[in-house]
């Protein structure tokens, strides 16, 4: 049992809670916390943020041909109860609302949220024609995904207040059962503003491959 996790807010703790909010789960036994991802580096970062000594294990899924995922589980009743007090819960997928994150650490939490169940992607737009001339633009989008509308709406309102960006919140069908899911997406100008805010200094806990996409774009003179 790990009892060495501090409840003092830090960027590392806030980031880890962002990961738990998206790719983590609280067991019904009221003591275990699980975190699963297909990205091994994300597991290692999560483990470091919480000073865990538990082993990271491979987790295969017999129902899919997708690549194997990695899994970490630890037991800490006090930390489990603290997560409950913040607004997390077992079977949280469709029931999440606001998570009680101090605003000073909200962007660390949100960076974990993006790394867990979000995306940062770029593409080249070559199809804009104006006055007979074709123009090429590099586009960037940042998206957050959730099965809970209320959770994303809370994030949307918070970002509107903090950064004056609003994004587009749309639904889509998650699987063959026609279960709705939601995506909060920010286009180029808002995305650039958001990403500069999320990656506010070097050596922050983050998923390297997503951070590299953001940094390559943010260094362009056009931004």
Q: Give pLDDT tens digits for 200-213.
A: 999 999 999 999 99
Residue 218 contacts by C-beta under 8 Å, 6 or more apart in sequence?
192, 195, 196, 199
Instruction: Please state, in angstroms and rounded to a whole number, the distance separating the CA atoms of residues 164 and 175.
Output: 33
The domain locations on the chain are: 11-92, 113-218
Q: Provide the whole-model pTM.
A: 0.89
Dihedral sign of CA atoms 95, 96, 98, 102 in order: positive
CATH number for the region 11-92 comes to 3.10.28.10
pLDDT at 35 over 70: yes
CB of 46 closer than 8 Å to CB of 59: no
pLDDT at 211 (0 to 100): 96
CA distances to 27, 55, 140, 141, 196 from 216, rounded to whole Å, are: 39, 33, 11, 13, 12
Is 113-218 a domain of CATH 3.10.28.10?
Answer: yes
- Phi/psi of residue 213, nearest 5 degrees: -60, -45
Q: What percent of the chain has pLDDT over 70?
A: 84
pLDDT at 122 (0 to 100): 85
- For 124, the token pair is 């080249």
pLDDT at 193 (0 to 100): 96
Same fold, 11-92 and 113-218: yes
pLDDT at 63 over 60: no
């Amino acid at each position: 049992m790990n009892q060495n996790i501090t409840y003092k807010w830090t960027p590392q703790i806030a980031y880890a809670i962002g990961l738990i909010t998206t790719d983590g789960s609280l067991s019904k036994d009221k003591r275990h916390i699980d975190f699963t991802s297909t990205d091994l580096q994300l597991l290692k970062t999560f483990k470091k943020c919480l000073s865990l000594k538990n082993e990271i294990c491979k987790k295969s899924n017999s129902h899919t041909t997708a690549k194997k995922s990695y899994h970490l589980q630890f037991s800490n009743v006090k930390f489990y109860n603290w997560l409950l007090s913040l607004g997390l819960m077992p079977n949280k997928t469709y029931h999440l609302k606001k998570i009680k994150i101090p605003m000073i650490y909200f962007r660390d939490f949100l960076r974990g949220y993006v790394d867990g169940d979000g995306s940062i992607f770029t593409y080249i737009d070559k199809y804009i024609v104006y006055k007979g001339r074709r123009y090429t633009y590099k586009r960037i989008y940042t998206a957050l995904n959730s099965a809970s509308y209320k959770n994303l709406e809370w994030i949307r309102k918070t970002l509107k207040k903090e950064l004056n960006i609003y994004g587009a919140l749309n639904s889509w069908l998650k699987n063959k059962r026609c279960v709705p899911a939601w995506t909060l997406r920010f286009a180029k100008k808002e995305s650039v503003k958001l990403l500069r805010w999320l990656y506010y200094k070097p050596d922050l806990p983050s998923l390297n491959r997503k951070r590299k996409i953001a940094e390559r774009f943010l260094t362009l003179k056009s931004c």
